[in-house]
Structure 1
Amino acid sequence: MAEPFLIGDAMTGGYGGADILHDCTIAVEKGQIAVIVGPNGAGKSTAMKAVFGMLKLRLGAVRLEGEDISALTPQARVAKGMGFVPQTSNIFPSMTVEENLEMGAFIRRDDIAATMEQVYTLFPILRDKRGQAAGELSGGQRQQVAVGRALMTQPKVLMLDEPTAGVSPIVMDELFDRIIEIARTGISILMVEQNARQALEIADKGYVLVQGANRYTDTGAALLADPDVRKSFLGG
C-alpha cells in the first residue's frame, strides 16, 4: 500500500499535561478532502494542530509525501507546502483584503500576481472589496480572506479548522463549494468541521474522533450511511 500524501500516524500527545490524542491517525490523499468530525472536546482541532506541528507528539509521526516532518516547526511545514487556517484570529482586521492576501505570500520570492488572480477568481467578492479593511467584512467574507491568504503560499495541503463556524447555511454551502473547487486543482484538504453531515457529504474520507481516538474511519458516503454514526453523531 502506498502511503497517503499526508498522514498524522498513531499520534499521541497533548499540550504538556495529560494526553489529548490517543493513537490517533488522520490522513489525506492528493487532491482529496478529508474531514474530522466528532462531539465537542473530541480532540478534533488538537489532531489538526498536531499534524501542523503546533503541539509536541509523545508518540507517532507526521509524514508529508513520505518524508517524516515530525520535528519541523509550523513555519517550516508551511515552507514544505502546508497551509493552515485557524478557526479564530485568522485575518489582519485593520489591513485591506489585498494586504491580507499579500501577507499570505510572505514566504514567496516570485511574482504573486497569478496566485492573487486565482484567489479573486475563486472568491469574486474579494476582488470587489480588495481595498476595504478585512475587519469590516461579514463573517463569511472574512473566512474567504483567511482561506485566500493560505492559498497565497501555494500549498499542497490546506488545513481548515472549523471553516464554517458562525456563518449562515447559505454561506456554509458556498464555502463548501469553493473547498471542492480547491481540491479539484490538486490541493489536499484536511478539515475539522462542526457541521458533520454537510462536511461528510463532500468528504472523500471521514474520521470520527471520540476522546482523542479514532472511533470510525471510512469514506464520507459510508459514514453518512452507517446507522451507528448517524444515531450517535449526526442526529439520527
Structure 2
Amino acid sequence: MSEPFLIGDSMTGGYGKGPDILHDCTIAVDKGEIAVIVGPNGAGKSTGMKAVFGMLNVRSGAVRLGGEDITNLSPQDRVRKGMGFVPQTHNIFTSMTVEENLEMGGFIRTDDIYETIEQVYELFPILREKRNQPAGELSGGQRQQVAVGRALMTKPTVLMLDEPTAGVSPIVMDELFDRIIEVARTGISILMVEQNARQALEIADKGYVLVQGCNAHTGSGKELLADPEVRQSFLGG
C-alpha cells in the first residue's frame, strides 16, 4: 500500500504549552480526492487541520506531503511546498478589490499570475463581474469564493478549507460544493472541515469523524453515511 499524498500521521498535540487536543489522530488525503473532517463541536476538527498546516505543536506523530516529512516546516514553508489554506474567518482583504485579493494570493510566485486569475474567474464567474469591487461589499458566499480563489493563486497541490460553507444559504452551499468538486477534478487534493456533515460526506471520497481529538470513524463518504452509528450520533439519525 502506497502512502496517501498528504498525511497527518498519529498526531498528538495542542496550542502552545496548553493541553493536548489531538490524541493519536490521523488525517490523510490522496491526489485529486476530497477528504472531509466532521464531528461534534469541540471535537478538534479545525485543530486537526491546523496541525496538518503547521499552526500548532505536534508533540508526536508526523506530517508528510508527497512522501517528504514536513512536520517541522512553518506554515509559510508549507505554502511553498504546495499547501493552500483557507481559514474560516478573516480570510479576505475587505478593503481591496476582488482582483487585488487574487493578486495578493500570487505573491510568492515569480511567473505570470494572470493565467491563474483567468482560471479562477472561469471557476467563479461572479468574481469576474465584481473584479473591481471591494471584497468587503460582497455577499458571504461570494467572499468565500474570493478566499478559495486567493488560495488557488499559489497553484497548490493540496487545498485546505476550514468550514467553507459556514453562514451561507443552502443554495450557496450546494454551489460551493460543486466548485470544490471541480477543483478536485483538476488533480488538487481537498481537505475540508465541515459542519454540514451529511452534505459534505455526500461529496467526500474519504471521511473522518473526530470525537475529542481522536479518530472515531474513518471510511469513504458513502460508508460513513450508511453507518448506523455515525448516522445516529452525528447526522441526526
Between the aligned partners of 1:50 and 1:44, the Cα distance in structure 2 is 10
Partner-residue secondary structure (3-state), 1:217: strand
Residue 29 of structure 2 corresponds to: 28
Residue 75 of structure 1 corresponds to: 76
For each residue in 1:170-227, what CA deviation from the matched residue of structure 2 results, as whole angstroms up to 9, or x when unmatched? 0000000000000000000000000000000000000000000000000000000000
Residue 109 of structure 2 corresponds to: 108
What is the correspondence of 1:1-236 to structure 2 with a 5 Å cutoff? 1-15=1-15, 16-236=17-237
Deviation at 1:42, TM superposition (A): 0.1
Partner-residue secondary structure (3-state), 1:25: strand
Between the aligned partners of 1:178 and 1:3, the Cα distance in structure 2 is 27
Deviation at 1:56, TM superposition (A): 1.1
Between the aligned partners of 2:153 and 2:20, the Cα distance in structure 1 is 34
Partner-residue secondary structure (3-state), 1:108: coil
After TM superposition, the score normalised by the length of structure 1 is 1.00
For each residue in 1:30-76, what CA deviation from the matched residue of structure 2 results, as whole angstroms up to 9, or x when unmatched? 00000000000000000000000000110000000000000000000
Between the aligned partners of 2:118 and 2:228, the Cα distance in structure 1 is 44
Between the aligned partners of 1:142 and 1:26, the Cα distance in structure 2 is 27
Deviation at 1:92, TM superposition (A): 0.1
Partner-residue secondary structure (3-state), 1:49: helix
Between the aligned partners of 2:116 and 2:19, the Cα distance in structure 1 is 42
Between the aligned partners of 1:53 and 1:142, the Cα distance in structure 2 is 25
**Percent identity, aligned pairs only?**
83
Between the aligned partners of 1:178 and 1:188, the Cα distance in structure 2 is 13
Between the aligned partners of 1:106 and 1:56, the Cα distance in structure 2 is 27
Between the aligned partners of 2:72 and 2:42, the Cα distance in structure 1 is 26
After TM superposition, where is structure 1 displaced by more than 3 Å over at least 4 residues in a row?
none
CA-based RMSD of the aligned residues comes to: 0.3
Number of matched pairs:
236
Deviation at 1:27, TM superposition (A): 0.0
Between the aligned partners of 2:115 and 2:93, the Cα distance in structure 1 is 22
